[in-house]
Amino acid sequence: MAFQQLDYLLLDDQFSEDERMVRDTVRAWVTERYLPLAMEHFEAGTFPLELTPELAELGVFGPTVPQEYGGAGMNSVAYGLICQELERGDSGLRSYVSVQGSLVMYPIFAYGSEAQKKRWLPLLASGKAIGCFGLTEPDFGSNPGGMLTTAKKTADGWVLNGRKMWITNGTVSDVAVVWARAEEGILGFLVERGAKGFSAPEQKHKFSLRASITSELVLEDVQVGKDALLPNVKGLKGPLGCLNQARYGIAWGGLGAAFACFDEALQYSKSRIVFDKPLAGFQLPQKKFADMGTQITMAQLLALRLGRLKDEGRATAAMVSMAKRNNVMLGLEVARTCRDILGANGISLEYQVGRHMCNLESVVTYEGTHDIHTLAIGQELTGIPAFR
Partner 1 sequence: MKIVACVKRVPTTEATAKLAADGRSLDPTGWQYMLSFYDELAVEEALKTKEKQGGEVTVVTLGPSDASKEVRECLARGADHGVILKDADPAARDPRSTAKALAAKIKALGADVVFTGRVATDRDHAAVGPMLATYLGWACVGEVHALELGAEGGTAKRETEHGVETVTFRLPAVITCNKGLNEPRRASLKGIMAAKSKTIAEEAPLAVDTQTLVVKVELPPSRKAGRIVGEGAAAVPALITALKTEAQVL
- When binding is defined by CB under 8 A, the residue of 7, 18, 221, 371 that contacts partner 1 is 18
**Distance in Å, CB of 345 to partner 1, minimum:** 24
Closer residue to partner 1, CB minimum distance, 21 or 284: 21
Closer residue to partner 1, CB minimum distance, 33 or 193: 33
Q: Does 74 bind partner 1 (CB under 8 A)?
A: yes
DSSP strand pairing (175-182 vs 131-134)? parallel
Identified catalytic residue from 19, 87, 264, 367? 367
Closer residue to partner 1, CB minimum distance, 25 or 203: 25
Q: Does 329 bind partner 1 (CB under 8 A)?
A: no
Q: Does 2 bind partner 1 (CB under 8 A)?
A: yes
Q: Does 363 bind partner 1 (CB under 8 A)?
A: no
Is the separation of the CB atoms in 210 and 358 below 8 Å? yes
- When binding is defined by CB under 8 A, the residue of 7, 9, 28, 385 that contacts partner 1 is 28
Cα gap 220→217, rounded to integer Å: 10
Q: Does 63 bind partner 1 (CB under 8 A)?
A: yes
Cα gap 211→215, rounded to integer Å: 13
Q: Which stretch binds partner 1 (CB under 8 A): 72-80, 166-174, 226-234, 284-292?
A: 72-80
Q: Does 346 bind partner 1 (CB under 8 A)?
A: no
Is the separation of the CB atoms in 30 and 86 below 8 Å? yes
Q: Does 297 bind partner 1 (CB under 8 A)?
A: no
Q: Does 233 bind partner 1 (CB under 8 A)?
A: no
Q: Does 30 bind partner 1 (CB under 8 A)?
A: no
Distances (CA, A) of 49 to 207, 215, 237, 265: 20, 15, 32, 30
316 CB-near residues (< 8 Å, 6+ apart): 380
Q: Does 22 bind partner 1 (CB under 8 A)?
A: yes
Strand positions, DSSP E, the chain: 131-134, 150-153, 157-168, 175-182, 185-192, 198-199, 214-225, 273-274, 277-278
Torsion over CA of 136, 141, 143 and 147, rounded to 10 degrees? -40
Q: Does 67 bind partner 1 (CB under 8 A)?
A: yes
361 is catalytic: no
Closer residue to partner 1, CB minimum distance, 9 or 347: 9
Q: Would you tell me how many other CB atoms lie within 10 Å of the CB of residue 218?
A: 17
Closer residue to partner 1, CB minimum distance, 64 or 362: 64
Which region, left, alpha or beta, applies to residue 109 given φ > 0 means left and ψ of -120 to 50 means alpha?
Answer: alpha
Interface with partner 1: number of residues (CB under 8 A): 22
Q: Does 286 bind partner 1 (CB under 8 A)?
A: no
For the chain, the maximum distance between any two Cα atoms, rounded to a whole number of angstroms, is 80
Q: Does 78 bind partner 1 (CB under 8 A)?
A: yes
**Distance in Å, CB of 26 to partner 1, minimum:** 8
Using the CB atoms, write b or e for 32-61: b if 16+ within 10 Å. Answer: eebbebbbebbeebebbeebbeebbebbbb
Footprint on this chain of partner 1 (rule: CB under 8 A): 1-2, 17-18, 20-22, 25-26, 28-29, 57-60, 63, 67, 72-74, 78, 82
Catalytic residues: 367
